[in-house]
Amino acid sequence: MKRILVSGGAGFIGSHLCTRLVSEGHEVICLDNFFTGSKQNIAHLMDNRLFEVVRHDITYPYSVEVDEIYNLACPASPIHYQHDAIQTIKTSVMGAINLLGLANRLNAKILQASTSEIYGDPIVHPQPESYWGNVNPIGVRSCYDEGKRCAETLFMDYHRQNEVRIKIIRIFNTYGPRMQPNDGRVVSNFVIQALQDKDITIYGTGDQTRSFQYIDDLVDGMIRMMDTEDEFIGPVNIGNPTEFSIRELAEKIIKKTGSKSKIVFEPLPHDDPKQRQPDITLARQKLGWEPTTQLDEGIDRMIAYFKETLNL
């Protein structure tokens, strides 16, 4: 049994990670300021003796005795991370400094949940970990993109200078139960709009592509990465390499829900990437990992989840 700290543990991804770690018999401390996290996401864990929740903002130092740290704290949807851009970048940068300092003092292993957004609007496709990205450092998305890029820099420098035991993963588009219905992310948006027979909004032409991975696959990849030998630090892409256009996704969801929704088009947001697809060769080689949940199966689960939770 390990004692594990999960920052951002009440969020969409963090709550699934906490659930998995507790189910494996580990003692888990969930750290969250509940800006985008929700107590409802972790309600099923509250009576478990292995689980503890602490309200805390990781832009301020936190001290606890743990064996491992998963750093997931940061708003991840454009609506939320652009709401307070300064706080977003502080969460990525100051949060990384505070948790790396803790890991250094404890000799704990620490994993950074980075993002495919560090590749920006890529001119290399699909994106391997060796690609440095094409990011606008002064755009409206840069508080998130550059914050995550700086966090990776901090992780590498703490590793090189202080020999902190680090792991870095780059998460591609992920969906699943416990996504917030109003966070503006494409899968949840489309499913809710379709279930309500509302127009489905596509930004741009709909020809831009994404690769969608189900939450269970991501959590499996995260834990596999944490469990690798200290010599392997990453970064590693964790995502589904199967590519779909946004229009294809909308049409698939309309068909599955039997919706009367029509597709409407709006201008593409500033700096929105045209394509995004992970090269997961390294994850296959080093982690023995690849996603197993197909998009059709995952969407069916999302439809059932929102029907139940939103009474749609």
Q: Are 221 and 284 in contact (CB under 8 A)?
A: no
Rounded CA separation 139/81 (Å): 13
Q: How many CB atoms lie within 10 A of CB 24?
A: 13
CA-to-CA separations, 312 to 218, 219, 240, in angstroms, rounded: 27, 28, 28
Q: Assess whether 62 carries a catalytic annotation.
A: no
Q: Are 162 and 150 in contact (CB under 8 A)?
A: no
Rounded CA separation 103/165 (Å): 8
Q: Are 273 and 122 in contact (CB under 8 A)?
A: yes
What φ, ψ does residue 224 adopt, rounded to 5°?
A: -60, -40
What φ, ψ does residue 111 adopt, rounded to 5°?
A: -110, 130
Rounded CA separation 165/106 (Å): 10
Q: Are 95 and 74 in contact (CB under 8 A)?
A: yes
Among the options 70, 81, 119, 144, which is catalytic? Answer: 144
CA-to-CA separations, 162 to 103, 229, 309, in angstroms, rounded: 10, 18, 46
Q: How many residues appear in the chain?
A: 312
Q: List the catalytic residues.
A: 144
